[in-house]
Structure 1
Amino acid sequence: MKYLQAVQQLLIDVQDQQAAIERAAAIAVQAIRNGGILQLFGCGHSQLIAQEGFYRAGGLACVKPISIEPLMLHSGALSSSQNEKQLTHFEAYWAEVNLQQHDVLFVISTSGRNAVPIEFAKRAQQQGIPVITLQSLHYKEQTSRHPSGQRLEDVSDVVIDTKVPVGDGAITTDAGQFGPVSTVIAASLLNELFVAVIDELQQHNEALPIFESANVKSDSASNEHWLAHYRNRIQF
């Protein structure tokens, strides 16, 4: 059970991120109250975290993944990895994004060094959009690939540190490093943040934009309400 034990230890280690999660949740709650949505962006495997928050039973209805084909694994793992490292096609990527006033941008990038996630964060901040990042600060000595020399934490309003080891693998032996943990840790922290958002709304007796599971007994009225409420911003 080496892998599960390693994950369990990391989940204990990241509990010191409570203050960052509370700050991020406060930003997200304010956005929801103002009619904004939470937009999630990542490249390659980090894009899986953006999908994790989307149209999820028990999750927030106001979550939109930013899904850009050339930066996603299914369009080519090698090409997506290369594309996130340089800004050659960035304007075409940015043209697919629709950030509006009161939105929040979440950028997921374990290394925090690749050019495209950094540029996304910079552009959002230039528009006055708060940026929350999920990244591992163990990578902070790794040189930025952005022309400015800035890393992702340099252009973030709140950094949530996943503490994922450099190289991602949680197990190291003479055979090498293996057992990647970035997905499970980032997904856990994201859902911890969403729970904090829901708790805050509930404490103030506000409407809870939560999707119910379609696989249990339900009249689906709540889901239909939230689908209609956010359909003008999110393609479900």
Structure 2
Amino acid sequence: MSVIKQYLQRTQGILNTVEQQETAIEQAAKWFSQTILSGRMVHLFGSGHSRIMVEEMWPRYGSFAGFNPIVELSLSFHNLVVGANGQRQAMFLENVSGLADRILRNYDLSPTDSALVISSSGCNVVPIEMAELFQQRGVKVVALVTKQHAEKSTSKRKDGKKLTDFADLVLDTGAPMGDAMVTVPGLDTPVSPGSTVGGALIVNCIKAEVARLLTEAGQPPKVLSAANVVGAERAVTLFEGAYDEHAHRLAKLYQQVGIPSYVSGATSTVQTPEA
């Protein structure tokens, strides 16, 4: 079997694994749609290459507002590889305790919110603490992991807990332990990971089901759509409307965050200048 066919065959297995999780995917979509219908946001977080799944959900063609992509460049900026902002630093920071708390300090969370936390191994400290903090604030957490890989991996947390220990629901990308799926003759290490394939399948299944639920509830989403599908004028209207809706939802996460001020509506002794 060629290495190309080998990879395609393995991805078929991933597709089967995702299909077997339909009920769980529907549950995740139900929670997310409830959050969006309430005017709040579904928080998305992934460090390292898990950032890919965050951006797959929103914003891109075929997606819609209601999701808050939390992407820290210090954890996911890979293209320089070495030197300043290199991969070594990003991998180090993924396991710095307390960083998740500093990130979430920026948001006024609500139990009405929900979250999708992505980590193939489920063993790095920052995504684990992110899920833990979400749960402490009453936010339902959906974890997207690679089950085989996570079960065989050792947590970087001192107490040994993994992302799955702080999840209300766990979804599996279906990739193998180690992620890489293709064996090349003469090469002693496998190549070509599969978690991105499984993750993208799950994210888009969730997205489709959320869109269905929102539409059935009388709040059809403004989907970012190509001009050659909906026409140039309609495409611009959808993009502008979706971005504005995102801004309006995001404003709620900032308005009451942290220390109150007269701007946030708190009682203040600030004197209004006389005319």
TM normalised by structure 2 equals 0.78
User: Greater shift after overlay, 97-106 or 168-177?
Assistant: 97-106
Which residue, 78, 91, 102 being the options, matches 1:81?
91
1:72 aligns with 2:76: yes
Shift of 1:206: 2.8
- Structure number with larger C-alpha Rg: 2
Change (3 A) 1:101 1:232: farther
Which residue, 147, 163, 180 being the options, matches 2:158?
147
Aligned residues with identical type, % of pairs = 32
Q: How many residues align?
A: 235
SS in 2 for 1:113: coil
1:206 alignment counterpart: 219
SS in 2 for 1:39: strand
Letter in 2 for 1:172: T
1:218 alignment counterpart: 232
In 2, Cα distance between equivalents of 1:172 and 1:234: 45
Letter in 1 for 2:180: G
1:160 aligns with 2:171: yes
1:95 aligns with 2:105: yes
User: Greater shift after overlay, 200-209 or 1-10?
Assistant: 200-209
User: Greater shift after overlay, 190-199 or 147-156?
Assistant: 147-156
TM normalised by structure 1 equals 0.90
Q: RMSD in angstroms over aligned alpha carbons?
A: 2.1
In 2, Cα distance between equivalents of 1:124 and 1:88: 14
In 1, Cα distance between equivalents of 2:35 and 2:77: 30
Letter in 2 for 1:158: L
Does the 8 A contact of 2:211 with 2:221 survive in 1?
yes
Change (3 A) 1:88 1:224: closer
1:50 alignment counterpart: 54
Shift of 1:90: 4.3
Shift of 1:201: 2.2
In 2, Cα distance between equivalents of 1:143 and 1:81: 15
1:136 aligns with 2:146: yes
1:109 alignment counterpart: 119
1:232 aligns with 2:259: no
Does the 8 A contact of 1:86 with 1:145 survive in 2?
no
User: Greater shift after overlay, 213-222 or 58-67?
Assistant: 213-222
Shift of 1:105: 1.3
Change (3 A) 1:109 1:193: same
Which residue, 167, 186, 191 being the options, matches 1:178?
191
Change (3 A) 1:112 1:30: same
Does the 8 A contact of 2:44 with 2:115 survive in 1?
yes
User: Greater shift after overlay, 48-57 or 98-107?
Assistant: 98-107
Which residue, 26, 29, 35 being the options, matches 2:33?
29
SS in 2 for 1:225: helix
Shift of 1:142: 2.0
2:272 alignment counterpart: none
Shift of 1:156: 0.4
Does the 8 A contact of 1:40 with 1:63 survive in 2?
yes
User: Greater shift after overlay, 52-61 or 27-36?
Assistant: 52-61
Point out where structure 1 has 5 or more consecutive residues left out of the alignment: none
Change (3 A) 1:214 1:65: farther
Does the 8 A contact of 1:36 with 1:101 survive in 2?
no
1:188 alignment counterpart: 201
User: Greater shift after overlay, 170-179 or 101-110?
Assistant: 170-179
Shift of 1:150: 1.4
Cα deviation 1:20-74 (Å, max 9, x = unaligned): 1011011011101111112211111001111111221111222221011221133
1:8 alignment counterpart: 12
Does the 8 A contact of 1:136 with 1:161 survive in 2?
yes
In 2, Cα distance between equivalents of 1:197 and 1:131: 16
Shift of 1:5: 2.3
1:197 alignment counterpart: 210
In 2, Cα distance between equivalents of 1:230 and 1:110: 28
Point out where structure 2 has 5 or more consecutive residues left out of the alignment: 79-84, 252-275
